Structure 1
């Protein structure tokens, strides 16, 4: 089977399953090269199949020796023209590698927003997972959510709040640098975005787990956020996405109260800018990334999701290098926010145009490769192999 990369705008619509297998192995080898660390042993990751969630799972399993449960909603192969999603294969290849190391790696490929999924996970923890979890990671990224109580489906919007935002963007399909206008959201669109991407479902998960008595004493739950800088505040921090992230801060306080009697803690982790399926489609964000990555690569501080998540857990949460802000949020994004880094990024972005954005002046090549890696293309150490659709369909998650 011949795997070819196909992009529509900044969305990948094709996948190389064997490329994803190699990338999972690359990430596992990276973690092993860093050595082991003391961390949690029974972990639930909600949103575990790609980017932050997958990187977290790999670090905790192959760095800290954790057994993991992963919840995600992915699609398997149907034909040579429809091979499913990258996350489908990530789940499968992670599970195989973890089990070869003697670790438990259970995949629930279901709607994480539903009551049924929550109950299925709770039943598994009680009967097959030693009864308790000591870390719950909420890393779910979805554009739609159905409220399990009302059955109503909400759709999120990536929009400005107040005034329109005008700025440069990059279309990777056409390799084009262009000007985009981001229209302001309505009040309904703001509310819907908070409903989908805010902290409500995180709180529902923690309530369900607490009521079922499957949380260990001293349990930690983490939720990933992004605040950014003045260079992207107009369309991120001050937009609908920022409003959803602010809701997670509020829900963290509620969850902390919920967990107080078992010495638990809810921790917001403000991550750095990295290349993910979600970040690639945020208006203007690719331009910020190609500028930032150039500066941080030259400084030796640029990180991919696996590097970033491993540093968060190895060095900060379960290490001795934690940095917190006044709101109690963990701040591994301090390398991105470094004043000199931001000043150089601003200067570089101001020099970019349609003639030079994809030259050595910036880091378009790094951004494009990292984006391609997400679906199994341009993967280091990948060697082409022949595989049939029947063999792909036979893979078991």
Structure 2
């Protein structure tokens, strides 16, 4: 029987618990069901559907709005007892199994979303097996590497500052260590490469391909998740390489709006709140901000996990008639995070955190660590340990 080990390298998870991953999907489905049904999109494509924002979006739309969904993600299945695959592989399986119990279509494409071949396979499926049209396209892809579909050149993103280095405190969850880190500044090439990987180019390519294939319904909506943060993290996020990539998404949204104008479509940038994801955990300094922010927001009753946040976005804001936009027409569900009182209290707490107290009750370190662990199937609520063999895992179909 397999033993599942919660192994980390810094803030990167190395081990997974497939049973726990699948249980967490069920937990998130139950959360949405308890909130009740809502009217929303019925035919949905989600690019980047296997974890965090993308998975939570898929769960909310399927089990809240009754949507049939297509999910595209790049995940790996089990190979050996030491290589059980990725958490997203099991998330996809659990989602499909639960959705099909409800009579919903839940098609998983596990492949490189950046390639033209993947786009064409999805288009063929929409035409032949999905009713011919989709009314919502969610772009939630998080990758550090992208292969240009035209040139074959491989680009790598960088999490770096722009202009000058940034020095500040961060946390290593493997070593349970609080320390000072220096974030080096990016070269012009590194900035450009980060935009190439994490900007809006592939989002626009998806929308162009779908539009040309005539599989977008009249009035189609496409969303892309961004993050802006506040003065507490601008130096290493909003004004850094990650911020440059997000700014590119704003530009591409304008292009997509022009593209969709003749079918009354809309491209919507959604500025999401700070949540625990595999991607956010490796952003320098961000864990310290989170353990302060989460503590303050939890005390106010406004802290959210990805499923809570995404369900609010679609249930209340996009399809519930209560949107909040900024002057650039971006949807702002981060309104709870950027509230002046919340930020003032978060700033005050950040300034008190040090190596001696960062794991104390004064902060939300335990909350951050649990939420991070859940992403890999550990510390999951309602988890029941089971004897599982490698052969049983290999027999699961995505």
TM-score bucket (shorter structure): over 0.9
Report the CA distance between 1:321 and its aligned residue.
1.4
Please give the alpha-carbon distance, in whole angstroms, between the structure 1 residues aligned to 2:72 and 2:23. 22
Provide the residue aligned with 1:331 in structure 2: 332
Which 4+ runs in 1 deviate beyond 2 A?
Answer: none
SS of corresponding position for 2:223: strand
- 1:96 equivalent to 2:97? Answer yes
Structure 1 Cα separation of the partners of residues 8 and 322 of structure 2: 39
TM-score normalized by the length of structure 2: 1.00
1:305 matched residue in structure 2: 306
Is residue 177 from structure 1 mapped to residue 178 from structure 2 by the alignment?
yes
Q: Is 1:239 the counterpart of 2:240 in the alignment?
A: yes
- Cα shift readout 1:12-49 (whole Å, capped 9, x = no counterpart): 00100000111000000000000000000000000000
Note the C-alpha offset of 1:285. 0.3
- Is 1:379 matched with 2:365? no
- 2-side partners of 1:153 and 1:209: how far apart? 24
Match of 1:34 in 2: 35
How far residue 345 of structure 1 moved from its aligned partner, in angstroms, is 0.4
Alignment of 1:275-314 (within 5 A): 275-314=276-315
2:158 corresponds to which residue?
Answer: 157
Answer yes or no: is 1:395 the counterpart of 2:396.
yes
Write out per-residue CA displacement over residues 295-335 of structure 1, whole angstroms, 9 at most, x where no aligned residue.
00000000000000000000000012110000000000010
* Distance in 1 of aligned mates of 2:149 and 2:69: 25
Measure how far apart 1:202 and its partner are.
Answer: 0.2
**Matched residue SS, 2:220:** strand
Deviations 1:63-120 (A, max 9, x none): 0000000000000001111100000000000000000100000000000000000000
What SS does structure 2 have at the residue aligned with 1:224?
strand
SS of equivalent to 2:267:
strand
Unaligned runs of 5+ in 1: none
For 1:128, the equivalent position in structure 2 comes to 129
State the match for 2:18 in structure 1.
17
Alignment of 1:59-78 (within 5 A): 59-78=60-79
**In the alignment, what sits opposite 2:273?**
272
Distance of 1:36 and 1:235 partners within structure 2: 39
CA drift at 1:275: 0.1
Matches of 2:69 and 2:160, distance apart in 1:
35
Is 1:86 the counterpart of 2:87? The answer is yes
Match of 1:147 in 2: 148
User: CA offset at residue 267 of structure 1?
Assistant: 0.1
Equivalent-residue separation in structure 1 for 2:54 and 2:3 (angstroms): 29
1:3 Cα deviation (Å)? 1.1
State the Cα deviation string for residues 161-193 of structure 1 (Å, max 9, x = none): 001000000000000000000010000000000
Match of 2:52 in 1: 51
1:204-243 pair list within 5 angstroms: 204-243=205-244
Cα distance in 1 between the residues matched to 2:124 and 2:246: 30
Alignment partner, residue 6 of structure 1: 7
Report the Cα offset of residue 4 of structure 1.
1.5
Report the CA distance between 1:226 and its aligned residue: 0.1
In the other structure, the counterpart of 1:348 is 349
SS in 1 for 2:168: strand
How far apart, CA to CA, are the structure 2 residues paired with 1:299 and 1:4?
35
Cα distance in structure 1, aligned partners of 2:83 and 2:119: 29
Partners of 1:349 and 1:120 in 2: CA distance: 48
Say if 2:249 is the partner of 1:248.
yes
How far apart, CA to CA, are the structure 1 residues paired with 2:323 and 2:42?
20
Give the root-mean-square deviation of aligned CA atoms: 0.3
Query: Which residue in 2 is equivalent to 1:112?
Result: 113
Give the SS at the match of 1:333.
helix
Q: For 2:159 and 2:151, locate their aligned partners in 1 and report how far apart those are by CA, in whole Å.
A: 24
Counterpart CA distance in 2 for 1:260 and 1:321 is 23
